Amino acid sequence: MTQVISHLINGEIVNDNNRSQEVFNPATGEATKKVALASKQTVEQAISAAQAAFPAWRNTPPIKRARVMFRFKELLEQNSDKICQLIGEEHGKISHDAAGELQRGIENVEYACGAPELLKGEHSKNVGPNIDSWSEFQPLGVVAGITPFNFPAMVPMWMFPLAIVCGNTFILKPSERDPSSTLFIAQLLKEAGLPDGVMNVVNGDKEAVDTLLSDERIKAVSFVGSTPIAEYIYATANANGKRCQALGGAKNHAIVMPDADMDNAVNQLLGAAFGSSGERCMALSVAVTVGDEAGDALVAKMTEGMKSLSVGEHSNANNDFGPVITKAHQEKVNGYIASAAEQGATLVVDGRNPTVEGFENGYFVGATLIDNVTSTMDSYQAEIFGPVLQVIRVKTMQEAMQLINDHEYGNGTCIFTRDGEAARYFSDNIQVGMVGINVPLPVPVSYHSFGGWKRSLFGDLHAYGPDGVRFYTKRKTITQRWPSSGVREGVSFAFPS
């Protein structure tokens, strides 16, 4: 009998006998499970459970909320092998990559363990005669997260640990492509001692999403996914009076300067471009080489380095990356590779249709290198989200920076150079939210915040870190005075100063 992945509502697994869809192992192309797609009524049931749990959780001292997170962190570490296996079976991510994803998620849990410090607020004594003033950060209420397939463990942990320690209750709508690890992690949170109803998981599609966006009991929505959906989420949430942060797509460029340590740059680009099959919003998908000498050297060394890369199934740690998520996405990536060649680019290494022995029906795309790409090509304009590195050749650093600044996305970027002046100028003037200097994947650590510029982020606050605390709380400022006993004060119509 096919296993059905259901919902976690008020601490219990809920089967709503609504619609369902198949969950595939992308390495084999076989449907292995089904996932329930929540109806409007099921999502409303989860919201009601979260709303009922909010008053008691709001009034739970932050130190007690943090203790739940400490226990949760231990359970995540104890169950890491099972979590990584679930990720591999449904996403296709190689075991070492899944372990890295989980570790970055755990680091966000560690940050959330600091709730008593994060929520202390501010205090000023004697702002006026015998008048004290202070600010405190109060929870919003019921909040929601909508997360993508490419990081089923990490991205949800960008959201719910902070939201929960700040005193909110949470509804998570994970990707229906790979829901098992996300649901298992939520069950670990219950095992850590989180009261029922504080964390709820509803699996589903647009019906579930639209219910979350329209229900007035949801006070804030956090989203990570493609830009068209991010725009829709942000506009709809705002139209319904909700706070919203919606992280969208990317086209991340690395400038390779003539003075770069080319061997180091190539090694860094191999992992940054092809790791996780390029299905990362921070994947480096474009190398912009300054001068033909740098371009020739990069292409030659990349071509040689790519010969040793191995694409295959998740449980073999000798593989470098696995399949893409679906058959349709495999065809889409292959289509962009074909279009680049048709539009005049040079297909240096063609990764289409690799042979993976024993997994001939898997959704595999091999590492692909395309040279002489131009900014007008379809493959450059789009976020391919596959193991494809495109090379654009320019004459100057200014031309390279202009190319990046002109692109509609502004998520991440990097420069490879030994020149401190060039690096400083680049970091000061590039119009991108996350910048690396000889660091190809400049993903901020948990105590900073993650987010791009331009059409890579809709909303004012970035994800996790200090911005995450501000997103999941609202400031209240209190001004207090106790007049001396027996003193009658006169009426004043002037604005207080």
**Active-site residue list:** 281
Question: What do you get for the CA distance between the two ends of the chain, in Å?
Answer: 73
Token pair listed for 477: 């400022």
Token pair listed for 382: 């789009």
Token pair listed for 81: 């092998």
CA distance 4 to 15: 9
Token pair listed for 281: 């919003």
CA distance 191 to 170: 16
Whether residue 456 contacts residue 246, with contact meaning beta carbons closer than 8 Å, is answered with no
Whether residue 233 contacts residue 43, with contact meaning beta carbons closer than 8 Å, is answered with no
* Exposure class string for 440-461: b at 16+ Cβ within 10 A, else e: bbbeeebeebbbbebbbbbbeb
User: CB atoms < 10 A from the CB of 37, how many?
Assistant: 20
CA distance 90 to 22: 11
With CA atoms as reference, report the closest residue to 464 among 443, 485, 479. Answer: 443
Whether residue 145 contacts residue 156, with contact meaning beta carbons closer than 8 Å, is answered with yes
Measured between alpha carbons, how far is residue 114 from residues 48, 100, 109, 279 in Å?
A: 29, 22, 9, 31
CA distance 375 to 222: 32
User: CB atoms < 10 A from the CB of 82, how many?
Assistant: 13
CA distance 452 to 142: 26
